[in-house]
Amino acid sequence: MTTSQESRDEARVAPEPEYGFPRALWRGIGRIPVPPPAHPRTWRSPLRGTWLTSVFGAVLLVGLPIVILTGLMSFIAYGPQFGQAIPGDVGYLHLPFFDWPTNPSWFYRLTQGLHVVGGMVLTPIVLAKLWSVVPKLFAWPPVTSIAQLLERISLLALVGGILFEFVTGLMNSQYDYSWGFGFYTAHYYGAWVFIAGFVSHVALKFPTMLRSLRRGPHGTGAFDRWLHDSPATTEPEPMDSHGLAALAPNRPTLSRRGLLGMVGGGSLLVGVLSIGQTWDPLRPLAMLSPRGQSYGDGPNDFQINRTLGGSGIDPVALGDGWRLRMTGGSGEVSLSRQDLLGMPQHTATLPIACVEGWSVTRTWSGVRLRDLAALAGVPEPANAFVQSVETSGAFARATLQRTQVLHPDALLALRVGDDDGGPMADLAPDHGFPARVIVPALPGVHNTKWVASIDFRRA
Ligand SMILES: Nc1nc2c(c(=O)[nH]1)N[C@H]1C(S)=C(S)[C@@H](COP(=O)(O)O)O[C@H]1N2
Ligand SMILES: [Mo]
């Protein structure tokens, strides 16, 4: 240790904790010999401090609400009014039911892309923020007042909640289901625990964050200095009552600007490697996408959620004997693929956007759902229940709301083309041949493949 650092250490004094009621208790706990990780000299990064934590906090204060709101919107997009949001029965935690919009057609692509890519991009910042406050986990005495005890409980919801939501969400976007519980249910309830912690934390810390950002890393309000600091000239943040700045800081090996650049750069890199899974021009960069880059020939070369092989369907059931059965009117109407191809064909360019974050634009052609409803004898259905030839699995059926059936671009698709008007091809077996549902702004999961029947319901 150099002499200058020794003298700097001597100058740094931790402020006395301010004890609340019952004072004797908290002070008594504080007198118990400090366990090693709680020793104020254990945490020595010269960069930790209230200002640094406030910078990460400000970024998350903007970013996390976007991820939270788009996540809750996805729950509504699944159609809780039809009992098909997951989890189904959420008691007090149910969200308002409203018809999910069908315009613009890229709406779910946008909200779900923001949710998944946003969560990925924020991950380095969440980790950096947790790193910046880790000494607090070991602060001694652990509690100095009843108010602070309550705050620490809310931090349990905040930190536990965000770790749980990010880990389960990232694993889900990688199709990793190695946990022993249902993803949707856990992610939904976990979200509310996290939201409760997040709201209390913002309410408690917002003034501190603002004050600290205004004062800057040196408490002087000057920002220009940290921008030009090299490691050698980087000064630790001053000690304060928040207990983040180190009492005995090491010599800096990284400037403050270097640390922010590293975290921000990590975030940017994750973003660049992820955005391609939902933005066609950058598709080749989507290296964090779990499903590779090639899925078939021509226009059928796009992500496959569940393959025909994985569906357990006997391919014979999709051959010449396949019929679309429609009910709801006075009698059942049965159509072969030839019958469907003989009806007026409509073409629409629409995205398919999976809850797991990927999306892609294709041109689809087939029969309008509203034409099929009219043919079935229910031109004004209240909703429609679509059932796949597939029988297993939660995604083998879907209820479409009225506006999703009647939209002029809502299709029972038979053929697919690129998004740039190239030649069309029959749907590949893995993409739902002989016929699949495609509806504007509908979550991917409800674009049922290998459709067997549609029940148009009056009420
Ligand atoms: N019958 C059936 N249809 C289905 C599914 C399924 O598992 N079974 N998966 C859905 C999901 S989750 C998505 S995102 C889309 C993906 O369509 P694609 O595999 O053609 O890209 O299909 C939907 N249709
Ligand atoms: Mo999906």
- For residues 390 and 450, the answer to whether their CB atoms sit within 8 Å is yes
User: Does the pLDDT of residue 9 top 80, yes or no?
Assistant: no
Q: The tokens of 137 are what?
A: 């986990």
Distance CA 444, CA 303 (A): 11
Residue nearest to atom 9 of ligand 1 (CA): 445
Identify the weakest region by mean pLDDT among 222-226, 359-363, 401-405, 407-411.
222-226
Peptide bond preceding 22 in cis form (omega within 30 of 0): yes
Cα distances (Å, whole numbers) of residue 81 to 41, 75, 90, 218, 438: 56, 11, 12, 54, 20
**pLDDT tens digits, 371-410:** 999 999 999 999 999 999 999 888 999 999 999 999 999 9
End-to-end alpha-carbon separation of the chain, Å? 79
Q: Which residue has the higher pLDDT, 178 or 104?
A: 104
Ligand minimally distant from the alpha carbon of residue 398: 1
Which residues, judged by CB distance below 6 Å to any ligand atom, belong to the binding site of ligand 1? 302-306, 311, 352, 354, 388, 390, 393, 395-396, 431-432, 444-445, 447-450
Query: Is the CB of residue 194 less than 8 Å from the CB of residue 154?
Result: no
Residue whose CA lies nearest to ligand 1 atom number 10: 445
Total number of residues shown for the chain: 459
Q: Which of 112, 291, 306, 450 for mutating ligand 1's site (highest number of atoms within 8 Å of CB)?
A: 306
Partners of residue 334 on adjacent β-strands? 325
Task: Among 445, 450, 453, name the best residue to mutate to test ligand 1's pocket (greatest count of ligand atoms within 8 A of Cβ).
Answer: 445
Residue identifier of the C-alpha nearest atom 16 of ligand 1:
305
Ligand 1 atom nearest to 354, measured from its CA = 14
Rounded-to-integer distance, Cα 285 and Cα 304, Å: 18
Which-ligand-closest: CA of 413? 1
Ligand showing the shortest atom-to-Cα distance for residue 449: 1
What is the set of domains in the chain, with CATH numbers?
13-280 (no CATH), 299-457 (3.90.420.10)
Q: What share of the chain has pLDDT > 90, as a percent? A: 76
Q: How confident is the model at residue 1 (pLDDT cuts 50, 70, 90)?
A: very low
pTM: 0.94
Looking at the CA of residue 450, tell me the nearest atom of ligand 1: 1
Query: How does pLDDT run across 95-122, given as a tens digit for each residue?
Result: 888 999 999 999 999 999 999 999 999 9
| Residue in 302, 361, 447 to alter for ligand 1 test, most ligand atoms within 8 A of Cβ | 447
Query: DSSP string of 275-311?
Result: HTTT-GGGGGG-TT-TT-S--SSGGG-S--SS-HHHH
Query: Could you tell me which of 166, 170, 453, 430 has the C-alpha nearest to residue 307?
Result: 430
Q: Which atom of ligand 1 is nearest to the CA of 397?
A: 1
Question: What confidence category does residue 139 fall into, taking pLDDT thresholds of 50, 70 and 90?
Answer: confident
